Amino acid sequence: MPIIVCGINHKTAPVALREQITFPPEKIALYLNDLLTQEDIHEAVLLSTCNRSELYCVAEDVERVTEWFCRQHPLTPMEILPLMYLYRDQAAIEHIMNVACGLDSMVLGESEVLRQMKDAFSESCAASTVGTLFNRLFQEVFAVTKEIRTTTAIGACPVSVSSAAVNFIKEIYPGQFNQATVLVMGAGVTADLVMRYLKSSLPHRILIANRSAQNAAILAKKYQCDYICLTKLAEALIEADIVISATGSPAPVILKSMLVSRKKSLFIIDIAVPRDVEPAVSELDFIHLYSIDDLKTIIQQNVRGREHAAEKAREIIKQKSHDFMMWLNSLDKVATTIRAYRNQVEDLCRIELSKAEKQLRRGDNPAEVLASFSHALTNKLLHTPTVQLRQAGHEGRLEILKLAQELFAISGPESELI
């Protein structure tokens, strides 16, 4: 059964399109159930992050898979298909491994995507869309990722989108960073990482804003700073010099109307997908708005230092994906061979059983009929293997005899066996 990957990422689509091709986390289970009930798809995992939306599945019909993917979003297939990539079998396995290792990330070697993939896998397991094949595949993916991070320098001096955002704002902010008031939007994993890098940079004040005041309070306590609920966002925007936004909101949180009266500069880094900041905000004179795609320049500095490690990691992935496909193909061959052998034996049984039934209807002694049936069936089952083994012995092909002993679990004194 083919393994298929289809999706879009930061390499194929800008943020303005990526934010329209997402799978909201609270609806992942619904998407997965729809996949397996309405489509000819046997196993599935959905991964949706700020930089990619991908479907991993086991399915026969690639076209139906891409059709399903396109139907889930407001854009037309004509708009989505040119942005999509499609991989199958070994290429698909390589891609999944590359993603898990951070080799396909905007920030080369970042580790956050592994956590996101593990979460996606867990969601799929909970939705019962992971079977024997994907369970084996993803365990192999996670093992390969661990090996690569242990044996290569791909994870050395880790950089993430969050750290890139902090470094970016420190480079472009014209004032003294240690005198700035920074407003962090969100209280999830990404916002937590932003806070970690901000605290080491020592801005004058950090303020956390989140829809859930409880979650904001937890993060604020961890980093010993202030927090507000989004109901007081307008007031916080007046006070802030810098905004770094990373919420999970499906719609913009910061609107142009909130900032029209502002008369001093405000630097906003929006690393959320879908975006947290209304694009029209960039039209205002004192607002400097940057999206996640604007971080690519600073991120490229990180890429150049890791290319050697990345090449080594890709070599490992190519070999591991090849090994997995060899194992997978062997399953098909084994299943085909077993099925053919079973059919052959059943055909022999039917022939001898038909003879025995005729003898019984004729009135022959049942005990003699059973004995004859047993003797005839045994001879027919052993005839071809016996001929082949004798031929192998005659030709000196002793490895065939050893294989037969292993296959049929034949045991006896070593002097009597090969």
**Contact by Cβ (8 Å): 198, 177:** no
Interatomic CA distance for residues 230 and 305, integer angstroms? 40
Residue 209: name the closest of 192, 225, 226, 230 by CA. Answer: 230
Structural domains of the chain sorted by starting position, each given as residue range(s) with its CATH number in brackets: 3-156 (3.30.460.30), 161-300 (3.40.50.720), 330-407 (no CATH)
**Cα–Cα distances in angstroms (integers) from residue 173 to residues 147, 166, 234, 256, 281, in the given order:** 39, 10, 22, 21, 18
The ranges of the chain with pLDDT < 50 are 415
**Is 6 marked active-site?**
no
Element (DSSP H or E) covering residue 4: strand 3-9
According to the model, what pLDDT value does residue 114 have? Answer: 94
Q: What is the pLDDT of residues 325-366, one digit of tens each?
A: 998 888 777 777 788 888 888 888 999 899 889 999 998 899
According to the model, what pLDDT value does residue 393 have? Answer: 82
Q: Dihedral of the CA atoms 250, 230, 195, 112 (nearest 10)?
A: -20
Q: What is the pLDDT of residues 70-106, one digit of tens each?
A: 999 999 999 999 999 999 999 999 999 999 999 999 8
Amino acid identity, position 88? R
Q: What is the pLDDT of residues 262-307, one digit of tens each?
A: 889 999 999 999 999 999 999 999 999 999 998 877 777 666 667 7
Residue 222: name the closest of 248, 247, 241, 198 by CA. Answer: 198
**Contact by Cβ (8 Å): 12, 79:** no
- Active-site residue identified among 6, 50, 70, 225: 50
Average pLDDT, the chain: 89
Residue 174, phi then psi, degrees to nearest 5: -80, -20
